[in-house]
Structure 1
Amino acid sequence: MDERSNIIFEDRFTVTDVDKDGKKFDRVSRIVAASRELGMHLTLDVASELYPLAEGEAFALAVVRSLTPEKDAAEAAEGMDDDDGATRKVRRELWRAEDQGLANEYDYVMHGKIYKFDDSQKGDNMTTAYFSYGGLLMALRGSYRHLANVVVGENVYLLMRK
């Protein structure tokens, strides 16, 4: 059984800037946000037509390994060795089902990959994890202990709600 938690990172952020370097694309905005609780800094590209965010707005953000609840995800991971591939098909086609797991609880969902982890500034115990969601990028910067579950190359879901 997979001992790792389904949730890689979770926190509440407040938008501090929207498109501070100017708008590069018509339908995409780059937001900069900060969290009070964990002291994390976020830079994120969002589809602004689908999920507009304004300066001063607060939102919850979660990065998870699977949209299925933790118990179901662990059971599915155990059953991935089945010869019939039925478990794999269920997990792959969750987006078609009426109950879409964690996606039902959030307003904005993206699927992507963790592509880089930079801890080159070890003196201040700060690190940055980089994510790509089909070309929309995210950089999450903060204390290493809050990003300890980040694994480069892993597929993840980004979940947001206001």
Structure 2
Amino acid sequence: MSDATLYEETFNINSTIADKYDRVTRVLGATHDASTALTLDVNHELYPLSSGETVTMVLATTLNLDGTKDERGWREKKGESTLADMYDYVCYGKVYRFEEGEEGRSIKCYVSFGGLLMCLDGPHKKLSPLRIDNVYMLLKK
């Protein structure tokens, strides 16, 4: 499964903004060492998050436990165990942009999950496995 995992980190939720859209909360957080910042839109009716909570996030290329590429949609795998079974909130989206940070030491990675957006801002070394491609984002508290 490790070949399919592009990024895994635990974030502390610092604040939330829920006043712009009906069902969407923008979550702002950082890793425990503050090396990576997270800005993430979530459907708060499906997965409510609040300040002070901790959430583990994984970005993966597939939900298959053996790391093989998805041949069909993950919802069609009736009776089969997938990575999604171990998490509370799963989204599928596209990494669509990168921005270089100061002196090439950090980058910003932007992902869209059907209009719900995410930005990771952190060290180039940690975020370098990400590329312009489709990814699954999995969250659990």
Which residue in the other structure is 1:139 paired with? 119
Q: How far apart are residue 124 of structure 1 and its match?
A: 6.5
- In 2: Cα distance, 1:72 partner to 1:156 partner: 13
Over the matched positions of the two proteins, sequence identity in percent amounts to 34
Q: TM-score, normalised by structure 2?
A: 0.91
RMSD (Å) for aligned C-alpha atoms: 1.8
Match of 2:42 among 39, 46, 51: 46
In the alignment of these two chains, the number of paired residues is 139
- In 2: Cα distance, 1:65 partner to 1:34 partner: 23
Equivalent AA in structure 2 for residue 129 of structure 1: C
Partners of 1:67 and 1:100 within 8 A in 2: no
Gaps of 5+ in 1: 78-87
- Residue pairs, 1:67-78, within 5 angstroms: 67-69=63-65, 71-73=66-68, 77=69
Gaps of 5+ in 2: none
* Larger helix share, 1 or 2: 1
SS in 2 for 1:146: helix
Q: How far apart are residue 105 of structure 1 and its match?
A: 0.2
* Larger strand share, 1 or 2: 2
Which residue in the other structure is 2:88 paired with? 107
Which residue in the other structure is 2:139 paired with? 160
Q: TM-score, normalised by structure 1?
A: 0.80
SS in 2 for 1:141: strand
Partners of 2:87 and 2:140 within 8 A in 1: yes
Runs of 4+ in 1 over 6 A off after TM superposition: none
Greater C-alpha Rg: 1
Partners of 1:11 and 1:38 within 8 A in 2: no
